[in-house]
Amino acid sequence: MLRTLPLLLMLTACVPVEPALAGRASVIDGDTLEIQGQRVRLWGVDAPEGRQTCGAPDGGTWRCGTAAANALDARLRDQVVRCFERDRDRYGRMVADCRMGDEDIGGWLVRDGWALRYADYAGTAYLVEETAARRARRGVWVGTVEAPWEWRRRSRQ
């Protein structure tokens, strides 16, 4: 019993008990919410930007950034979202794991193909979800997608 106590204390110290923020969320874009007037960037995921387009299977393009935001908005409609702060970004926004009930919103976005896992920050988190979305050609994976971080870099030039 004495050997397991330090491990138990370590594990519980890493898991926030109370969310930093909770309430109904407004969708700002595919990976950013606003709750009670505070912007929250979803941890570990990167959705296409609002002006970003993706390649369609027929060779055309479609507004995948707008579609990602709309899908997130439809998913969260009238639900309470709880966000557990992990960090602050360079714009001062909270970066958080957010949940709707027991569902990880970032995981849902990646699993349904509306966001890519942001490996620079997430490491291997969401790798299984992204692989499944690609194989099933869900969301942005229905055609071709440029990683949002690459699109932003290219758009600034």
CA–CA separation, 35 vs 157, rounded Å? 33
34 in a structural domain: yes
CA–CA separation, 87 vs 154, rounded Å? 26
CA–CA separation, 28 vs 102, rounded Å? 22
57 in a structural domain: yes
Q: Is the pLDDT confidence value at 125 over 60?
A: yes
CA–CA separation, 85 vs 115, rounded Å? 20
- What pLDDT score does 70 carry? 98
Q: Is the pLDDT confidence value at 11 over 80?
A: no
7 in a structural domain: no
> Could you read off the pLDDT of 86-102 as tens digits, one per residue?
999 998 999 999 999 99
32 in a structural domain: yes
**Percent of the chain at pLDDT exceeding 70:** 90
**Both tokens assigned to 31:** 């990976």
63 in a structural domain: yes
Statement: the pTM of the whole predicted model exceeds 0.85: yes
155 in a structural domain: no
17 band by pLDDT with thresholds 50, 70 and 90 = confident
- Residue bearing tokens 């998913």: 75
Q: Domain span at residue 98? A: 17-149
Count of structural domains within the chain: 1
CATH of the domain at 72: 2.40.50.90
1 in a structural domain: no
> Could you read off the pLDDT of 63-77 as tens digits, one per residue?
999 999 999 999 999
9 in a structural domain: no
